[in-house]
Amino acid sequence: MLLPLLFLAATMPATIDDESKVPPYTLPDPLVDNAGNKVVDAKQWRESRRPEVMKLVEENIYGRTPDTRARQQAAVSEVVETDAQALGGKATRTQLKVWPIGKSGPAFDLLLYVPNGAKGPVPAFLGLNFGGNHTTVEDKAVLLPSTWVSKQWAAADGSNRATEKGRGTQASRWQVETLVARGFALATVYCGDFEPDFPEGWKQGFRAALSPEGANTAWKDGDWAGIGAWAWGLSRSLDALAKVPAVDAKRVAVIGHSRLGKASLWAGAQDERFALVISNESGCGGAALGKRIFGETVGVIAGAYPGRGFPHWFTARYSRFAEKEHLMPLDQHHLLALVAPRPLYVASAVEDRWADPKGEFLGALAADPVFRLLGQPGLGADVYPAVGQRVGKSIGYHVRAGKHDVTLEDWQAYLDFADRVMPAK
């Protein structure tokens, strides 16, 4: 009997891509505490409910980020290369090598462009990239990563080494000239410097470096996973940026696309130094509601079906909600609510149906009461907007035309929003 049962358990349900087929679902109210009491003011949110929500998100989705403050005291940051005449003289490029737990541990490479001629420290956008810093700009001086990169960015010899062929291939997703022209700095780090994105990648990253058992660690339910490691890396990148006098660390937006958008949300939730948190098409396990069954589901992403998903991104318990999303004691709006009262921007693309654009909007909408309790205007809209229309006050939202990507249109929306909430001038 065991075999047929296993087979049944491993059969992936058909993906729902039709709004009329979405099964009914109920969302837990983030403003009702674990004891069933209504949260009525900012103080109660801050002192008791927010820590409960943080714990729910840790235990059920991403795992607990270890307290590494003692290790961080050994952090070292060195300028590897700088050029005050980058981007045709418009910016200063700096490449830092950072050892966030000291030189006995691994390092990451931070690429930074700061607009020239600013009167004082400038606000910045910080985000992880998928393939190496050299993929984010055409600039020939940007160094290649020395860590593992996935096949699409790597040498043809199967060695997972980055090569020149990746240079500039993601430039349209970063739009550095536009950012600099509008007075913002751009900082980016390759996500694989913190943890290469494959099931055993953690052995080469900071999760192993920070664990007493190193690469022999047997991860337990509740322990952190890949998204947690990337989020931790974003905080360590902010530590490094905070030491750069030309950047104002009080005006740093954390941004990420897709899986790295999930990481950006989790970083922004945990690290309240981030002044603005941006999710570009983060989808399932990001801004999109998990109880709403549309596109990618918790079971698919968490690896409940053979050959599918990314269990190494999440703590073990998350996969137990496969086909049992109704049992989740929270949903992604709890994660989004942890950003409050700071500004949040959630963006979708209409053809990115796998990420459930409407579910991303509904995630933001369900987090909105927390922003309003904390005195923020929040989303200020409860109707899914037309394609290309921007809505929102302290929670921004748009769904643009086109596919799963980061485009100039997305950046223009983020920059306009940033002009209001963390202005350059």
Q: Which residues bind ligand GTR (CB under 6 A)?
A: 258-259, 283-284, 296, 301
User: Residue type at 330?
Assistant: L
Q: In sequence order, what are the residues at sequence separation of 6 or more whose Cβ sits closer than 8 angstroms to the Cβ of residue 340?
A: 367, 370, 371, 373, 374, 376
| Nearer to ligand GTR among residue 226 and residue 341 (C-beta) | 226
CA dihedral of 146, 150, 153, 157, whole degrees rounded to 10: 80
Are 77 and 243 spatial neighbours (Cβ–Cβ below 8 Å)?
yes
- Taking Cα atoms as reference points, which of 139, 47, 30 lies closest to residue 366? 30
Catalytic residue among 235, 258, 264, 394: 258
Query: C-beta of 323: minimal distance to ligand GTR in Å?
Result: 17
* Three-class DSSP category at 52: helix
Query: C-beta of 36: minimal distance to ligand GTR in Å?
Result: 33
- Taking Cα atoms as reference points, which of 126, 125, 120 lies closest to residue 98? 126
| Nearer to ligand GTR among residue 332 and residue 394 (C-beta) | 332
| Nearer to ligand GTR among residue 116 and residue 198 (C-beta) | 198
Alpha carbon distance 123, 135 (integer Å): 23
Q: Annotated catalytic, 394?
A: no
| Nearer to ligand GTR among residue 296 and residue 410 (C-beta) | 296
Q: Annotated catalytic, 257?
A: no
Alpha carbon distance 215, 396 (integer Å): 41
* Residue 316: CA count within 13 A, CB half-sphere: 6
Catalytic residue among 77, 150, 211, 404: 404
Query: C-beta of 15: minimal distance to ligand GTR in Å?
Result: 11
| Nearer to ligand GTR among residue 115 and residue 283 (C-beta) | 283
168: left (phi over 0), alpha (psi -120 to 50) or beta: left
Query: C-beta of 262: minimal distance to ligand GTR in Å?
Result: 7
End-to-end CA distance of the chain: 69
| Nearer to ligand GTR among residue 92 and residue 258 (C-beta) | 258
Place of tokens 């799963």: 404
CA-to-CA dists, residue 185 to 86, 138, 260, 265, 362, angstroms: 13, 17, 19, 20, 31
Q: In sequence order, what are the residues at sequence separation of 6 or more whose Cβ sits closer than 8 angstroms to the Cβ of residue 215?
A: 203, 208
User: Residue type at 223?
Assistant: D
Query: C-beta of 422: minimal distance to ligand GTR in Å?
Result: 26
Query: C-beta of 259: minimal distance to ligand GTR in Å?
Result: 3
Alpha carbon distance 141, 251 (integer Å): 27
203: left (phi over 0), alpha (psi -120 to 50) or beta: alpha
| Nearer to ligand GTR among residue 39 and residue 406 (C-beta) | 406
Taken in order 287, 289, 295, 297, is the CA torsion positive or negative? Answer: positive
- Active-site residues, by number, are 258, 404
